[in-house]
């Protein structure tokens, strides 16, 4: 998990940022006007948040019993060993044994032989589970349904005993059936399907009734069959989508919740695992299926259907998620003539340039080390993502570096042999 997630944040890694202050995301969300997205033009959670959560976090931290694995001299010593040679040793544990390499003389930059400290994988698994369970305890102290839902999801996704994870999954399922908070429903839809019941009891349709202004709620409302809404469901779905005024997955809201938890202040193995837990939550957030929407809008000429599809494209483009922006262009491409209408060609060029630039930066940073020197930048990156989203961070980086958008978009089209608004080759 570590390498894949680190590659994601490495792609987006900005110049060093200052650490964001402790904020109260719940107060911010309460102050948002109905239907306001994170980048809808209204102030988002971080802009409106009050400087009031530090005291609460200190109280939460004090309510957790000290653990030798997480607190005190032994944990600090483990951090120090990780920052020394531990991360090198763990990388070597992950590599297949090469008899020829094993018999060769050691290199100067990685531990070998009697200097190696085995068992880092077991330590990391135990520590990851302990941190996830502690965070779950802290989140359960908060009254907000989003915090309660995240607490159960952390347990489900941990390496805790199966029975404990199944209890958490059941608690999250029950919360999704009773909570009136759409954020809790969004978290429940991230639930892996554990146990014999799987996810059959999860009712995605409740989200649309609670938050009809959110396009994501409608996309989760009806299960599709072979990428299509069955029968007349597509008409009902498009009528519902016409009510949507914003797109909100609650991934950023959930990331904000985790960033507000007490965390290890100094670099080390504990901070590495904390970062990976947050990165995994954000970068692996499950989106609804867009195929039924694409198929419902394909080649339609009816005015009402076309208007609903165009509005959905606008809402998706307003998202801070590059996948959703790409889906917006995919919708536009399926409606004859719209791909040539302003402002879509300019938007396509912007996303083409962002994809090309981020892809090449990611390739250059693919070998980014897990060493402790990377951790402050990774944490600053998560704060930036929570504030501005993936697309917002990339767009800002490109502007700061003076990236030639037209040139990078041309490179994208040359490599892909098509633009994002062109028909597939």
pLDDT digits (tens, 9 = 90+) for 313-368: 999 999 989 999 999 999 999 988 887 888 999 999 999 999 999 887 765 454 44
Choice between 341 and 106, residue whose per-residue pLDDT is larger: 341
Dump pLDDT digits (tens) for 354-393: 999 988 776 545 444 457 888 898 899 899 999 999 899 9
Per-residue pLDDT at 275 exceeds 90: yes
pLDDT at residue 113 is higher than 90:
no
The 3-class SS string of the chain reads CHHHHHHHHHHHCCCCCCCCCCCEHHHHHHHCCCCCCCCCCCCCHHHHCECCHHHHHHHHHHCCCCCCCCCHHHHHHHHHHHHHHHHHHHHHHHCCCCHHHHHCCCCCCCCCHHHCCCCHHHHHHHHHHHHHHHHHHHHHCCCCHHHHHHHHHHHHCCCCCHHHHHHHHHHHHHHHHHCCCHHHHHHHCCCCCCCCCCCCCCCCHHHHHHCCCEHHHHHCCCCCECCECCCCHHHHHHHHHCCCCECCCCHHHHHHHHHCCCCCCCCCHHHHHHHHHHHHHHHCCCCCCCHHHHHHHCCCCCHHHHHHHHHHHHHHHCCCCHHHHHHHHHHHHCCCCHHHCCCHHHHHHHHHHHHHHHHHHHHHCCCCCCCHHHHHHHHHHHHHHHHHHHHHHHHHHHHHCCCCHHHHHHHHHHHHCCCCCCCCC
The reply to whether 45 falls in a domain is: yes
Greatest mean pLDDT range, 204-208, 228-232, 293-297: 293-297
In this predicted structure, the answer to whether residue 103 has a pLDDT above a threshold of 60 is: no
Residues of the chain with pLDDT > 90, as a percent, come to 44
pLDDT for residue 96: 56
Mean pLDDT of the residues in the chain: 77
Q: Report how many domains make up the chain.
A: 1
Q: Classify residue 368: in a domain, yes or no.
A: yes
For residue 290, the model assigns a pLDDT of 93
* Mean pLDDT value of segment 165-173: 92
Band (95; pLDDT cuts 50, 70, 90): low
Specify the pLDDT at position 60.
42
pLDDT at 300 over 70: yes
**pLDDT value at residue 52:** 31
In a domain, 318, yes or no: yes
Q: Average pLDDT, stretch 200-212? A: 82
Q: Output the pLDDT for position 226.
A: 84
Is residue 313 in a domain? yes
Q: Which of 59-68, 174-183, 248-257 has the lowest mean pLDDT?
A: 59-68
Q: What is the pLDDT of residue 282?
A: 94
Q: What is the pLDDT of residue 343?
A: 94
Would the pLDDT of 32 be above 80? no
Predicted TM-score of the model (pTM): 0.77
- What is the domain extent for residue 61? 2-88+123-416
The confidence score (pLDDT) of residue 90 equals 65
Residue 146: predicted pLDDT: 96
Report pLDDT for 228: 87
Residue 274 lies in a domain: yes
Assigned domain for 109 exists = no
């Amino acid at each position: 998990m570590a390498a894949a997630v680190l590659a994601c944040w490495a792609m987006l890694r900005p110049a060093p940022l200052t650490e964001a202050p402790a904020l109260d995301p719940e107060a911010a969300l309460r102050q948002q006007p109905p239907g306001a997205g994170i980048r809808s033009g209204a102030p988002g959670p971080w802009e409106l948040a009050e400087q009031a959560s530090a005291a609460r976090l200190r109280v939460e931290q004090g309510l957790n019993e000290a653990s030798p694995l997480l607190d005190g001299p032994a944990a600090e010593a483990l951090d120090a060993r990780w920052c020394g040679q531990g991360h090198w040793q763990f990388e070597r544990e992950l590599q297949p044994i090469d008899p020829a390499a094993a018999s060769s003389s050691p290199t100067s930059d990685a531990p070998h032989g009697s200097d190696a400290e085995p068992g880092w994988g077991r330590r990391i698994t135990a520590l990851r589970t302990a941190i996830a369970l502690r965070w779950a305890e802290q989140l359960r102290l908060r009254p907000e349904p989003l915090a309660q839902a995240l607490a159960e999801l952390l347990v489900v996704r941990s390496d805790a005993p199966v029975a404990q994870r199944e209890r958490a999954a059941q608690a999250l399922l029950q919360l999704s059936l009773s909570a009136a908070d759409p954020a809790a429903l969004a978290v429940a839809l991230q639930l892996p399907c554990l146990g014999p019941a799987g996810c059959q009891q999860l009712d995605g349709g409740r989200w649309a009734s609670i938050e009809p202004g959110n396009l994501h709620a409608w996309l989760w409302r009806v299960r599709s069959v072979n990428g299509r809404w069955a029968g007349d469901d597509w008409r009902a779905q498009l009528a519902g989508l016409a009510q949507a005024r914003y797109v909100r997955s609650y991934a950023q809201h959930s990331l904000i919740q985790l960033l507000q938890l007490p965390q290890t202040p100094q670099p080390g193995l504990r901070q590495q695992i904390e970062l990976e837990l947050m990165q995994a939550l954000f970068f692996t957030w499950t989106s609804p299926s867009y195929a039924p929407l694409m198929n419902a809008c394909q080649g339609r000429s009816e005015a009402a259907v076309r208007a609903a599809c165009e509005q959905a494209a606008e809402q998706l483009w307003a998202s801070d998620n590059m996948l959703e922006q790409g889906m917006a262009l995919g919708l536009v491409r399926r409606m004859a003539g719209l791909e040539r209408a302003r402002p879509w060609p300019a938007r396509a060029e912007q996303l083409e340039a962002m994809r090309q630039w981020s892809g090449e930066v990611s390739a250059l940073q693919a070998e980014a080390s897990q060493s402790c020197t990377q951790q402050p930048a990774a944490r600053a990156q998560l704060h930036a993502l929570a504030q501005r989203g993936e697309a917002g961070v990339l767009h800002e980086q490109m502007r700061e570096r003076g990236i030639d958008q037209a040139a990078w978009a041309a490179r994208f089209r040359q490599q892909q042999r098509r633009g994002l608004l062109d028909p597939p080759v």
